[in-house]
């Protein structure tokens, strides 16, 4: 039965695959508030022409944007709802404008920011829920069909930090960025020393020597590119 379902999904039109989605439409009654908060929540000022490429070779054209709150790409359906893309196991990659995104089931979408001999550097930028000493340090907001979207989407932006207005619980968020390495087999590794060691196992000695001489900040994009450039040349 699972095999049959897999075959049916691969043979289905691409638009049918992308249409099986989780609806996350914003409240219709507060369009002014949504417009004000748009720049804080989304990567692009408006939904842009994009393409979703599937592993079966098909693709579909659709209006797309990256949502920092969900940490995932959304699209606008024919009924104008704002939806998340599901069936990600069948998605190869996503293009929004000139930017390329890859999906990992547990981490959502991440944007490619460098290619070093087919080893990709990708960044995952998202809004993280700030915590305190009582509820740990920081928690990434997980948005699901059962999740609660605040009744007001107006956000106050101060030094890259956000706070919902007109919300009794008054949660606060800030941007965070995590970097990933995507190897030639499309395996995802967090961009840290262990990830580099797995991908460049045959160059372990040279890698260790470089890291001994250079204090690499694995949260710094430029320094990660410097390390990847070195690894691609050894």
* 135-162: pLDDT as tens digits: 333 444 433 333 333 434 444 455 555 5
> What b/e string do you get for 105-138 counting C-beta neighbours within 10 Å, with b at 16 or more?
eebbbbbbebebeebbbbbbebbbebeeeeeeee
Same domain, 105 and 149: yes
Structure tokens that stand for 143 in this block: 């948005």
Per-residue pLDDT at 160: 54
Indicate if the pLDDT at residue 18 is higher than 80. no
Residues 15 and 77 in one domain: yes
Whether residue 85 is found in the same domain as residue 180: yes
Handedness of CA 207, 212, 217, 219 (dihedral sign): positive
Confidence of residue 106 (pLDDT cuts 50, 70, 90): confident
Q: At 228, list the tokens.
A: 């990847």
Residues 135 and 152 in one domain: yes
Count of domains observed in the chain: 2
Claim to verify: residue 186 and residue 220 sit in the same structural domain: no
Q: Is pLDDT at 80 greater than 80 in this prediction? A: yes
133 neighbors 144 (Cβ within 8 angstroms): no
17 and 54: one domain?
yes
Q: What is the pLDDT of residue 113?
A: 98
Mean pLDDT in residue range 51-72: 93
Q: Looking at the structure, tell me whether residues 131 and 233 fall in a common domain.
A: no
**What mean pLDDT is predicted for residues 111-115?**
98
pLDDT above 70 as % of the chain: 66
Same domain membership, residue 115 and residue 6: yes
Check residue 126 and give its pLDDT.
92
> What is the residue-averaged pLDDT of the chain?
76
Range with lowest mean pLDDT among 3-12, 124-133, 183-192: 3-12
- What is the β-pairing status of strands 119-130 and 108-116? antiparallel
List the structure tokens of 216.
């690499």
Give me the domain span that covers residue 197. 192-234
- Does the pLDDT value for residue 215 go beyond 90? yes
Please tell me whether residues 109 and 122 are part of one structural domain: yes
């Amino acid at each position: 039965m699972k095999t049959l379902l897999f075959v049916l999904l691969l043979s289905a039109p691409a638009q049918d695959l992308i249409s099986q989605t989780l609806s996350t439409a914003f409240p219709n009654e507060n369009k002014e508030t949504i417009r004000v908060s748009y720049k804080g929540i989304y990567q692009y000022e408006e939904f842009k022409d994009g393409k979703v490429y599937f592993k079966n070779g098909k693709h579909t054209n659709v209006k797309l944007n990256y949502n920092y709150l969900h940490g995932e790409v959304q699209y606008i359906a024919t009924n104008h709802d704002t939806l998340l893309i599901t069936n990600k196991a069948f998605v190869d990659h996503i293009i929004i404008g000139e930017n390329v995104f890859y999906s990992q089931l547990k981490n959502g979408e991440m944007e490619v920011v460098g290619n070093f001999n087919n080893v990709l550097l990708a960044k995952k930028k998202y809004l993280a829920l700030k915590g305190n000493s009582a509820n740990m340090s920081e928690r990434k907001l997980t948005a699901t069909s059962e999740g609660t979207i605040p009744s007001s989407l107006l956000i106050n932006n101060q030094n890259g930090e956000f706070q919902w207005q007109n919300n009794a619980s008054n949660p606060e968020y800030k941007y965070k960025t995590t970097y990933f390495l995507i190897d030639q087999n499309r395996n995802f590794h967090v961009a840290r020393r262990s990830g580099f060691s797995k991908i460049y196992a045959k160059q372990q000695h040279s890698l260790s020597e470089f890291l001994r001489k250079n204090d690499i900040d694995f949260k710094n994009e430029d320094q990660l590119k410097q390390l990847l450039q070195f690894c691609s040349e050894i």
